[in-house]
Amino acid sequence: MEMASLPAHVTGHDLVERVLDEFFDQARARAGKLSPRYLSLWEILQSSARGGKRVRPRILLTAYAGLGGTDLEAAARAGAAFELLHTALIIHDDVIDLDFMRRGRRNVAGAYRDRAEAAGESAEIARHRGLSAGVIAGDLALVHAFRMLETVETDSATRLALTEILEDAMFASAGGELIDIDFSLHPAAPPVEDILHMERLKTAVYSFEAPLRAGAVLAGVDGEVSATLGKFGRDTGIAYQVVDDLLGIFGSESATGKSSLSDLREGKRTVLIAHAAQTGVWDELSGLIGDPALGPRQADRARELLESCGARAFAEDLANEYATRARSHLECPAVPEPLRAVLCGILADAVERRS
Amino acid sequence: MEMASLPAHVTGHDLVERVLDEFFDQARARAGKLSPRYLSLWEILQSSARGGKRVRPRILLTAYAGLGGTDLEAAARAGAAFELLHTALIIHDDVIDLDFMRRGRRNVAGAYRDRAEAAGESAEIARHRGLSAGVIAGDLALVHAFRMLETVETDSATRLALTEILEDAMFASAGGELIDIDFSLHPAAPPVEDILHMERLKTAVYSFEAPLRAGAVLAGVDGEVSATLGKFGRDTGIAYQVVDDLLGIFGSESATGKSSLSDLREGKRTVLIAHAAQTGVWDELSGLIGDPALGPRQADRARELLESCGARAFAEDLANEYATRARSHLECPAVPEPLRAVLCGILADAVERRS
């Protein structure tokens, strides 16, 4: 996601990179003492953590600095914890989705699949070896997300609060992922509210709500401000996810970085699909989506149906509604004006992405 | 593993059960607020954590009480952390080994595979849904192993030391699991030392070495005693693994609880196989093992070859050698006599299991 509104130079972005680099250097040295094979896993894990936009650390740092926090090193370490959680979650999400690529490159599973194929394993066994390495790598990133918080210099009550926020986020994300798997077991499209709930749990909490709350808690502001930022983050996160669903179907490949066919081919449960399932186009639409061989002409027809049944407009309205709700939380007088402006920028970035 | 030498009534075994029950009750309540589907995952996770012998908590409690520790509640909580780590590691190990059963019952992946099959999914998709649920469940147990340590009432330096021991154990186990996957990519059997190193990392550290060190650290004894118990645990753990390799080939199914053909069918890299690979029987033996359809007669022939080439005797000597080494560490005068006796019993249980 583009986050033009997050001024990198004032929010300790370089510090986050330095903290992550130091962490990986130490972990690689530790792994190398156990085995060169293990060192190799850590090298691949480090490389897979590179190239992200560090959205969560930047959001955390923005809240922290905007609420008067001055220990950027501490905030960068808390931000790095969220980045490691993100790394763990996407590695395991890729295992679950059987994806071997991420950001246009091989992910951990992809790298180990290639290695197994080069060693002469069958495609099926190589695939499983890759996924197994992904399970292990995600476990390591997950544990070290929490350990990173121990390096944040603050009092023990604040550190415990940070740990609880990070763990709440992980607990929510695991729940969202599980509900998503359960959805795929049922042929009927779930209702819109269930989709929104799942998307909020799986991504919005740990990407927006939790980093904002963590930044506020670390800055030492009172619980009301932290809760307000949390609510803003929650509604921003939901708006972001709905826009993501729209872009997955109507976005250009150059903007989203993924095939504009993949969500349709997968039959991904989105708010658009949930809406369309309640209309007269469902008979035809349900015959098109979820077909791994769906071609460009059928995709165009599916898009036409999602337009004509009102699903696209419904999702656009929904994203705007959550964005308006998010903005309204910022009217709380305890949110300083400069922070309000930056957060409005983050919201705008989240919902006004190029389609 | 049978641990007759661990007196349950004096080591807070009931406390461990209570701590785990309370933890799962709270987690289920929390998950239930998010979704009934999520509650269901936690119910399956709780059930999969039942029925274990709680070996790691019992070892920790033994060291703690044997070194004069009296806060059994604190020790039970530290022990429960190790039990949750064990739960996480076996769930993910089963995902990696494509096992859908554990202790004679469906594991998490097995329960979700059944559910997907009942929902009409193909066998392949149902299998993957099951494994995906296993990834998520293991992640949750892993994070909560570390969170459990936060509930241990002790000073912050001791709590940090406990966290480091638990994390060292997890770091080692992930490394061992990765090396094991890497072994399977190479047709040649690795040398005996490499097998021992892998087995130590994967299981011995978190099962013996780390719980003993944690019990000593929590009891507040000096670093030398903790290090001595760690060394004892390390050698005991290696001896245990070598005996495990022997039982996997020569043990009776009733004693080991698993098919006496499975290690041979899988072509599992063990010290016996590594030894045999250096002898004249390897040509014939390598043609037998690793065949998923290996029958009882071929298995008997493989066992004959492992006997005649000296691999069985080699492994038996190796287990005895490590057991002797383990016993020698206990001669350290700082280890109290009653604890020494109990630890000798643990060692005897580990190496003298019925074949």
pLDDT in tens, A131-158: 999 999 999 999 999 999 999 999 999 9
A6 pLDDT band (50/70/90 cuts)?
A: low
Which pLDDT value is given to residue B255?
Answer: 66
pLDDT in tens, A296-348: 999 999 999 999 999 999 999 999 999 999 999 999 999 999 999 999 999 99
CB contact under 8 A, B171 and A92: no
Residues of B in contact with A116 (CB under 8 A): 185
Is any Cβ of chain B less than 8 angstroms from the Cβ of A35?
yes
Is any Cβ of chain B less than 8 angstroms from the Cβ of A142?
yes
The alpha carbon of B55 is separated from its chain's Cα centroid by a whole number of angstroms, namely 9
Domain ranges in chain A are 1-153, 156-355
Using the predicted structure, report yes or no on whether residue A11 has a pLDDT greater than 80: no
Q: Please provide the average confidence, as pLDDT, over all residues in chain B.
A: 93
Which pLDDT value is given to residue B140?
Answer: 98
In the predicted model, what is the mean pLDDT of residues B237-247? 95
**Residue for token digits 């395991």?**
A92
Among the listed residues A4, A138, A21, A103, the one whose alpha carbon sits nearest the alpha carbon of residue A58 = A4
The alpha carbon of B98 is separated from its chain's Cα centroid by a whole number of angstroms, namely 17
Q: Which residue has the higher pLDDT, B9 or B65?
A: B65
| Chain B, nearest residue to A181 by Cα | B129
**B124: which residues sit within 8 A by CB, 6+ positions away?**
none
Of A45-54, B56-65, B296-305, give the lowest mean pLDDT range. A45-54
Using the predicted structure, report yes or no on whether residue B72 has a pLDDT greater than 90: yes
Among the listed residues B336, A118, B245, the one whose alpha carbon sits nearest the alpha carbon of residue B237 = B245
User: B156-355, superfamily in CATH?
Assistant: Farnesyl Diphosphate Synthase (1.10.600.10)
Q: Which two tokens stand for residue B354?
A: 């019925």
pLDDT in tens, B190-240: 999 999 999 999 999 999 999 999 999 999 998 999 999 999 999 999 999
Is any Cβ of chain B less than 8 angstroms from the Cβ of A178?
yes
CB contact under 8 A, B98 and A128: yes
Q: Is A267 left (phi over 0), alpha (psi -120 to 50) or beta?
A: left
Number of neighbouring beta carbons within 10 Å of residue B354 = 10
Crossing angle for the helix pair B223-250 and B296-308, to the nearest 10 degrees = 130
**Three-class SS state of B106:** strand
Q: Which residue has the higher pLDDT, A222 or A16?
A: A16
In the predicted model, what is the mean pLDDT of residues A224-240? 96
**B272: which residues sit within 8 A by CB, 6+ positions away?**
B245, B246, B249, B306, B311, B312, B314, B315
Using the predicted structure, report yes or no on whether residue A8 has a pLDDT greater than 70: no
B9 pLDDT band (50/70/90 cuts)?
A: very low
Q: Which of B38, B143, B182 sits opposite A178 (nearest CB)?
A: B38
Q: Which of B37, B177, B184 sits opposite A136 (nearest CB)?
A: B177
Residues of A in contact with B184 (CB under 8 A): 129
Q: Which residue has the higher pLDDT, A254 or A25?
A: A25
Q: Please provide the average confidence, as pLDDT, over all residues in chain A.
A: 93
A51 pLDDT band (50/70/90 cuts)?
A: confident
Q: How many CB pairs under 8 A join A and B?
A: 129
Residues of B in contact with A150 (CB under 8 A): 160, 163
CB contact under 8 A, A171 and B132: no
Which pLDDT value is given to residue A9?
Answer: 47
Using the predicted structure, report yes or no on whether residue B5 has a pLDDT greater than 80: no
Q: Do domains A1-153 and A156-355 have the same CATH topology?
A: yes
DSSP string, A187-216: SSPPPHHHHHHHHIIIIIIIIIIHHHHHHH
Q: Which two tokens stand for residue A37?
A: 């094979």
CB contact under 8 A, A139 and B140: no
Q: Which residue has the higher pLDDT, A207 or A52?
A: A207
Q: How far apart are CA B7 and CA B58, in angstroms?
A: 9
CB contact under 8 A, B95 and A132: yes
The alpha carbon of B316 is separated from its chain's Cα centroid by a whole number of angstroms, namely 20
The alpha-carbon gap from A154 to the nearest alpha carbon of chain B, in Å, equals 13
pLDDT in tens, A202-228: 999 999 999 999 999 999 998 999 999
The alpha carbon of B114 is separated from its chain's Cα centroid by a whole number of angstroms, namely 26
Which pLDDT value is given to residue A2?
Answer: 47
CB contact under 8 A, A143 and B167: yes
Q: Are the C-beta atoms of B60 and B84 separated by less than 8 Å?
A: no
b (16+ CB within 10 A) / e for A206-240:
bbbbbbbbbbbbbbebeeebbebbbbbbbbbbbbb
Using the predicted structure, report yes or no on whether residue B186 has a pLDDT greater than 90: no
Q: Are the C-beta atoms of A238 and A196 separated by less than 8 Å?
A: yes
Percent of chain B with pLDDT strictly greater than 70: 95
A104 pLDDT band (50/70/90 cuts)?
A: confident
A257 pLDDT band (50/70/90 cuts)?
A: low
Q: Which two tokens stand for residue B93?
A: 């190990």
Percent of chain A with pLDDT strictly greater than 90: 83
pLDDT in tens, B292-330: 899 999 999 999 999 999 999 999 999 999 999 999 999
Residues of A in contact with B116 (CB under 8 A): 185
In the predicted model, what is the mean pLDDT of residues B326-351? 94
Q: Which of B34, B115, B156 sits opposite A172 (nearest CB)?
A: B34
The alpha-carbon gap from B322 to the nearest alpha carbon of chain A, in Å, equals 20
User: What residues 98-137 of chain B have any CB closer than 8 A to a CB of chain A?
Assistant: 98, 112, 115-116, 119-121, 128-129, 131-133, 135-136
Residues of A in contact with B139 (CB under 8 A): 88, 92, 138-139, 142, 170, 174
pLDDT in tens, A186-205: 778 899 999 999 999 999 99
pLDDT in tens, B159-183: 999 999 999 999 999 999 999 998 8
pTM: 0.95
The alpha-carbon gap from A23 to the nearest alpha carbon of chain B, in Å, equals 14
The alpha-carbon gap from B49 to the nearest alpha carbon of chain A, in Å, equals 18
Q: Which two tokens stand for residue B96?
A: 């990696």
The alpha-carbon gap from B311 to the nearest alpha carbon of chain A, in Å, equals 26
Q: How far apart are CA B112 and CA B100, in angstroms?
A: 9
Q: Which fold has domain B1-153?
A: Farnesyl Diphosphate Synthase (1.10.600)
Q: Which of A35, A147, A179 sits opposite B37 (nearest CB)?
A: A179
The alpha-carbon gap from A93 to the nearest alpha carbon of chain B, in Å, equals 9
Among the listed residues B173, B192, B191, B180, the one whose alpha carbon sits nearest the alpha carbon of residue B268 = B180
| Chain B, nearest residue to A129 by Cα | B181
Using the predicted structure, report yes or no on whether residue A124 has a pLDDT greater than 80: yes
pLDDT in tens, B257-285: 667 788 999 889 999 999 999 999 999 99
Is any Cβ of chain B less than 8 angstroms from the Cβ of A239?
no
Count of residues making up chain A: 355
Among the listed residues B61, B65, B210, B76, the one whose alpha carbon sits nearest the alpha carbon of residue B148 = B76
Number of neighbouring beta carbons within 10 Å of residue A47 = 15
The alpha-carbon gap from B355 to the nearest alpha carbon of chain A, in Å, equals 31
CB contact under 8 A, A175 and B92: no
**Three-class SS state of A224:** helix
pLDDT in tens, A153-191: 999 999 999 999 999 999 999 999 999 998 887 778 899
B2 pLDDT band (50/70/90 cuts)?
A: very low
Using the predicted structure, report yes or no on whether residue A246 has a pLDDT greater than 90: yes
Q: How far apart are CA A232 and CA B27, in angstroms?
A: 26
| Chain B, nearest residue to A139 by Cα | B139
Is any Cβ of chain B less than 8 angstroms from the Cβ of A147?
yes
Which pLDDT value is given to residue A353?
Answer: 78
